[in-house]
Structure 1
Amino acid sequence: MQQLAHRLERLGTETAFSVAQAAAAWKAKGNLVYPFHLGDINIPTAPNIVEAMNRAIADGYTGYCPGPGIPQLREALADDIGSRRGIEFSPENVVVMTGGKPVITKFLQAVMNPGQEVLYPNPGFPIYESQIEYLGGTAVPYRYVPTSTGFAIDLEQIRASITPNTVAIIYNDLQNPISAESTAAEREAIAQLAIEHDLWVLSDEAYFETRYEGVSSSITSIPGMAERTVILYTFSKKFAMTGSRLGCAVAPREIAQVLSTLNTNDESCTTHYVQWAGVEALRGPQDSVQHMLDILQTRRDTACELVNSIPGMHVAVPQSTFYLFPDVTEVMERMGYTAVGDFASDALYKTGVSFCTREHFGRRLPGEERQYIRLAYSGIEVPDIRDGLGRLREWIETA
């Protein structure tokens, strides 16, 4: 009998989609579901962006185009990303891709050989771990520790984890799922470790502009980092274009050339007319971006207030992303749960509230004792946030 490739045994998935399937099955049976599980956005793409895409289709931009992206989009991305980070990028630094995810895979293909080690955040976006291992690397997790304002990277653990076989570190400032944001000192420490040990860095900046207070900073702005760092950029979050599948890598030219070749091998090019929508998103009016942030901030404030009103559950108010990562340890202990997955399943079937757990974002690390869940508020309206979290509180209080 024919066998499938052994490397498939190392391939993971984006586990939030499995939670979505369970929620959809429960909803299909006629039950009410409050979708806090998936980081999709239920706010429409701005009309001017949609019109630009439709116009490009009507104008015949439906064929092949350059593998690294159309010149107009690469130039717009170089200008926008560079100006917001205080760095001068050229279009040759930009490689357009079908969303942000391909940047992870192609970065690893470009810098990592089988058997080499890559540091990645845990909890973190599960595709990091999946792709490192699928491509034959050794995934080395680094952890976060809770603080009064959220979470901080365990820098001592990172230092202890670096070996002569370590080739890269994946760094997700403004982090999914825990909404952690580095202090300037923490960002500098990561940069110094990368320079000291001559590591490549993938800086996942998907949420760089999804923030409600303060100003984002990029590790690439630190001297010595632009030449060793690849930025992951996506239109999905800032412009509510999750289904359009448009993003890019901003990289040193030697890496950009490799990424462009990988594009040609993998998908030839990113959809031509979608790239013209990207040009309009960057060059056109920006009022829709602020409008979406205002909506998300209201949802954040509502969700944080309600979560912190539930006895035994607490969360710091994040300044960015659209996720909450509340500690539910006390709630679970009081209700008699030992597995956070059981707590999540019962919450769905008894309250309709659907959410991911810490286990959906990487293998639990030695010494972890606290229990967490992730609530995404990007795809749920304020009345449903109030109703859903109200039901969750009632269930917890009466258990």
Structure 2
Amino acid sequence: MQKLARRLERLGTETAFSVAQAAAAWKAKGNLVYPFHLGDINIPTAPHIIEAMNKAIADGYTGYCPGPGIPQLREALAEDIGSRRGIEFSPENVVVMTGGKPVITKFLQAVMNPGEEVLYPNPGFPIYESQIEYLGGTAVPYRYVPTSKGFAIDLDQVRASITPNTTAIIYNDLQNPISAESTAAEREAIAQIAIEHDLWVLSDEAYFETRYEGVSSSITSIPGMAERTVMLYTFSKKFAMTGSRLGCAVAPRDIAQVLSTLNTNDESCTTHYVQWAGIEALRGPQEPVQDMLDILKDRRDAACGIVNSIPGMSVAVPQSTFYLFPDVTEAMQKLGYTAVGDFASDALYKTGVSFCTREHFGRRLPGEDRQYIRLAYSGIETPAIEEGLGRLREWIENA
């Protein structure tokens, strides 16, 4: 019998999609479902962006184009991303890709040899761990500790985890799933660690502009970091273009050339007409971006208010992303659950509320004794948030 490659045993997945399947199956049986599980956006892409995409198709931009992206989009990205971070980038620093995920894989292909160690956040986006291990590296998790304002990186643990075999660190400020945002001091500390140990850095900035208060900062802006950092940028979140699959890496020129070659090997190029839509997104009217943020902020406020009124649940109010990561330890104890997966499953069947748990975002680390779930409010409108979380509250209150 023919065998498959052994490396497939190391390949993970984005486990939120399995939760989506369970929710869809429950809904197919005629049940009401309140979808808090996926970080998709149920707000349409702005009309002017769609019009630009349709015009590009009509104008014949349906064939191959340069592997690193069309020059016009690379120029627009360099200008926009650089101006928002106080850094001067050139188009040669920008490599257009089919969304943000390919940046993770290609960064690792470019800087990590088999057997080398890469630090990654845990809880964190599960594709980090999956791709490190699939490509033959050693995935070394670093943890977060709860604070009154959310979560903070355990910097002592990061420092203790570095060995002579460590080659890179993945850093996700404005973090999925926990909405953690670094303080300036924490960001500086990660930069200093990277410089001191001569590490490559992948700075995942997918949610850089999905924020409701304050101003985002990039680790790339810190002196000594631009030459060792690859930045992940995506159109998915800011412009509600998740299905368009458009993003880019911003990298030092030598790494950008490698990433461009990987593009040519993997998919030849990013869809040509979608890139013209990206130009319009960046340079066209920006009012739809603010309108979407206003909607998401309203959803955040509604969700946080109800979560913090549920017995045994609590969450800090995040200033960015569209996720909540509430502590549900006491709520589970009140209901008699010891496994958060059982709690989530019964919540779906008894209240219709569908959500991911801490276990969907990396292996639980030694010493973890609290239980968490993730609620994504990007794909559910405010009245449904209030109704669904109200049913969850009633279930827990009546236990």
CA shift for structure 1 position 196 = 0.1
**Offset, 1:87:** 0.2
Cα distance in 1, alignment partners of residues 317 and 72 from structure 2: 39
CA deviation profile, 1:122-145 (whole Å, cap 9, x unmatched): 000000000000000000000000
User: Using the alignment, how far apart are the partners of 1:306 and 1:334 within structure 2?
Assistant: 18
Please give the alpha-carbon distance, in whole angstroms, between the structure 2 residues aligned to 1:382 and 1:198: 46
CA distance in 2 between partners of 1:149 and 1:273 (Å): 42
> Aligned-pair distance for 1:97?
0.1
The TM-score with structure 2 as length reference comes to: 1.00
Q: Give the match for residue 115 of structure 1.
A: 115
State the distance in 1 between where 2:281 and 2:152 align.
33
Q: Residue by residue, what CA displacement relative to the aligned partner does 1:307-332 show, whole Å, maximum 9, x if unpaired?
A: 00001100000000000000000001
CA deviation map 1:253-298 (0-9, x unaligned): 0000000000000000000000000000001010000000000000
Structure 2 residue aligned with 1:247: 247
Offset of residue 334 of structure 1: 1.2
Give the distance between the partners of 2:162 and 2:83, measured in 1 at CA.
33
1:154 correspondence with 2:143: no
2 CA distance for matches of 1:340 and 1:219? 34
The CA distance in 2 between the partners of 1:193 and 1:106, in whole Å, is 23
Q: Distance in 1 between matches of 2:359 and 2:88?
A: 40
Structure 1 residue 66, shift from structure 2 partner: 0.1
Q: CA deviation at 1:304?
A: 0.2
- 2:53 & 2:312 partners in 1: Cα distance? 48
SS where residue 95 of structure 2 aligns? Answer: strand
* 2: CA distance, partners of 1:307 / 1:333: 16
Please give the residue correspondences for 1:266-305 in structure 2 after superposition, counting only pairs within 5 Å: 266-305=266-305
Q: SS state of the match for residue 96, structure 1?
A: strand
Residues 1:372 and 2:372 are matched in the alignment: yes
Aligned-residue offset at 1:55: 0.1
SS at structure 2 position matched to 1:227: coil
Matches within 5 A, 1:123-162: 123-162=123-162
**Secondary structure at 1:170's aligned position in 2?**
strand
Matches within 5 A, 1:65-214: 65-214=65-214
Distance across 1 between alignment mates of 2:231 and 2:392: 38
Deviations 1:162-215 (A, max 9, x none): 000000000000000000000000000000000000000000000000000000
Distance 1:377 1:266 in 2: 33
d(CA) in 1 for partners of 2:393, 2:312: 10
Q: In the TM superposition, what is the alpha-carbon distance from 1:27 to its structure 2 partner?
A: 0.2
Distance 2:21 2:278 in 1: 30
Post-superposition CA distance 1:30-67 (Å, at most 9, x none)? 00000000000000000000000000000000000000
Give the 3-state SS of the residue equivalent to 1:54 in structure 2: helix
**Normalised TM-score (structure 1):** 1.00
SS at match of 2:201: strand
- Distance across 1 between alignment mates of 2:294 and 2:382: 12
Give SS of 2:306's match.
helix
Partner SS state of residue 380, structure 2: coil
Cα distance, 1:10 vs structure 2: 0.2
Name the CA distance, whole Å, in 2 between partners of 1:285 and 1:45: 13
For 1:37 and 1:277, locate their aligned partners in 2 and report how far apart those are by CA, in whole Å.
Answer: 28
Partner deviation per Cα, 1:233-266 (whole Å, 9 max, x = no partner) = 0000000000000000000000000000000000
Q: Which runs of 4+ in 1 moved over 2 A?
A: none
Provide the C-alpha distance between the structure 2 equivalents of 1:382 and 1:214, rounded to a whole number of angstroms. 23
Cα distance in structure 1, aligned partners of 2:383 and 2:78: 40
Secondary structure at the residue paired with 2:227? helix
Structure 2 CA distance for aligned equivalents of residues 269 and 187 of structure 1: 34
**Matches of 2:265 and 2:48 in 1, distance apart?**
32
Distance 2:203 2:95 in 1: 15
Quote the offset at 1:350 in angstroms: 0.3
- The CA deviation at 1:114 is 0.1
Q: Provide the rounded CA distance (Å) in 2 between the counterparts of 1:127 and 1:117.
A: 16
Residues in 1 aligned to 2:312 and 2:343: alpha-carbon distance in whole angstroms: 14
Aligned mates of 1:202, 1:169 — CA distance in 2: 6
Give the SS at the match of 1:390: helix
Aligned length in residues: 399
**Structure 2 unaligned blocks of 5 or more:** none
Distance of 1:235 and 1:207 partners within structure 2: 10
Shift of 1:360: 0.1
For the aligned residue pairs, the C-alpha RMSD in angstroms reads 0.2
CA distance in 2, matches of 1:397, 1:72: 56
Shift of 1:352: 0.2
Q: C-alpha distance in 1, partners of 2:5/2:311? A: 49
Give the Cα separation in 2 of the matches to 1:381 and 1:110. 41
* Counterpart-to-counterpart distance in 2, 1:364 and 1:115: 22
